[in-house]
Amino acid sequence: MIIFESIKMALISIWTNKARSFLTMLGIIIGISSVVSLMAIGEGVKKEVTKTVNDIGTNMIFVFGGNVQMKQSDIQPTANKQTGQSSGMTGGFGNPASLISGDILKYQDVEEIRKINGIEAVVPMSLVAGTLKKDDYISTSTIAGSESDIAKIATGFKLEKGRFFNGEDNEKNVIVIGDSSRSQLFGDKTDVIGEKVKINNNEFEIIGLLAKSKSGSIFGDTFDSIAIIPYSTAKKMNDGKDKILRILLKAKDGYNVKDVANKINDNMLTRHPKEDFTVITQEDALGMYDTILNLLTSFTAAIAAISLVVGGVGIMNIMLVSVTERTREIGLRKAIGATDWAILFQFLIESIMISLIAGLISLGLVKIIAQIVEKKINIQPVITPYALILSVSVCVLVGLVFGLAPAIRAARKNPIEALRYE
């Protein structure tokens, strides 16, 4: 009963000074809503990335130029027999420029990797600089060069119509396009097989149309906007240079993907220094997203902590003012038998309630932000129970810590002097 009475009195006090209480809460509202919103968006992005990666295919392994050093123990290839070097990933990023270079990986790497036991398919992925056009219409497609086995690896790329290119299409000007590319070039027309499009004034025949991505997100749209041509044709358009940005692989069913990735690492080390390449699995790719999002959340949390401290100081100041304003009330309550602990508890509850109400307002604001984000960028933020529990706990802690000094000051007041206070 004492607790409920204290909460009731605290709410009456807060309501009596609505404007002052709200201004006191602002720091807490900003801090909590920032952290919880980013956590919710981060969880939504993780969910979408996981779905998109899993939709593309399974047992996939990626090799790309540049060294991304991730703290992980899953891929720990043996030392290279020739150099004695290990390609284990420890922590941090290598040279960012090398991550987008097309001059590191060679077609020889693709041929050598094909010889490794446990690999079902391997294809290069190169990019072609240019614009995909149909008459006066221009597509924002990413133009990639690859081989026919791309259909075995990226099983999430389903054909709506037509076919993928095969070995007989080498160096031919044929193309497979995504659904977004189709709509940008042909509008509502869906039967585009046999139509001609241009890349840098080179005419290509559409032989395949990819089905619209299941994800329906910004990530799904990325795959809907791809246009794929034979690798040999892309190499010809790149002045005879390999220009391989990525090598995509699929491990055979029944083989451990990590073990296959280890073999690929060792194989690559026979031709490249460890700084030149990175081999990652689907699990590692998702881990990289998690790491980046966690770092971003931590950074935001550090900034938000400043808002929480400012909000806490505001609570302490307003409670000190409240103690001064209610000095006679404190004296009267002590005169009729209230203990120091009862006075301390009353002011501490009021401080916690201010912080807790600010937290509840923050969660309402987070819900609004989540709806805006979902509408604008097509990512559905996920507010986890952990985020809710964390926000409530932080609010209680801030109210407790910053309300303690004013509560102690109120509890220590002499009842006689308090009753004389004007």
* Same domain? 102 vs 138: yes
Q: Are residues 259 and 343 in the same domain?
A: no
Output the CA–CA distances (angstroms, integers) from residue 120 to 20, 113, 187, 256, in the order listed: 68, 11, 38, 13
| Domain end (from 281, 308, 339) | 281
Rounded to whole angstroms, the Cα distance separating 215 from 55 reads 8
- How many domains is the chain partitioned into structurally? 2
Identify whether residues 86 and 36 lie together within a single domain.
Answer: no
Question: Which of 255, 281, 307 is the last residue in one of the domains?
Answer: 281
Residues 260 and 361 both lie in one domain:
no
Residues 274 and 299 in one domain: no
Residue 22's domain comprises 2-49+289-420
Same-domain status, 186 and 316: no
Nearest to 389 by CA among 30, 28, 29, 32: 32
Pairing status of strand 202-210 against strand 196-199? antiparallel
Angstrom distance (rounded) from CA 389 to CA 383 = 11
* Residues 6 or more apart whose Cβ sits within 8 Å of residue 368: none
User: Tens-of-pLDDT digits for all 422 residues of the chain?
Assistant: 467 777 888 888 888 888 888 888 888 888 888 888 888 888 888 777 777 766 666 688 989 887 765 544 344 444 443 333 333 343 444 444 445 556 789 999 999 999 999 999 999 999 888 899 998 899 988 899 999 888 888 877 788 899 988 888 988 999 999 988 999 999 989 899 999 999 988 999 999 999 887 654 545 455 688 899 999 999 999 989 888 989 999 999 888 889 999 999 999 999 998 888 889 888 887 777 777 777 877 787 787 778 788 888 888 988 888 888 888 888 888 888 888 888 888 889 989 999 999 989 998 999 999 888 888 877 788 888 888 888 888 888 988 999 899 889 888 888 777 777 66
Judge if 117 and 150 occupy the same domain. Answer: yes
Question: Which residue, 400, 320, 311, 407, is CA-closest to 32?
Answer: 311
Rounded CA gap, 152 and 50, in Å?
20
Which of 253, 281, 309 terminates a domain? The answer is: 281
Query: Based on the domain organization, do 217 and 297 belong to the same domain?
Result: no
CB 287 within 8 A of CB 128: no
d(CA 270, CA 400): 61
Tokens of 8: 């009731």
What is 183-196 written as a DSSP string? HHHHTT----TT-E
Q: Kindly state whether residues 227 and 181 are assigned to the same domain.
A: yes
Q: Is the domain of 255 the same as that of 326?
A: no
Are 381 and 304 in the same domain? yes
**For residues 271 and 85, is the Cβ–Cβ distance under 8 A?**
no
Count, residues in the chain: 422
Same domain, 232 and 329: no
Rounded distance, CA 100 to CA 242, Å?
14
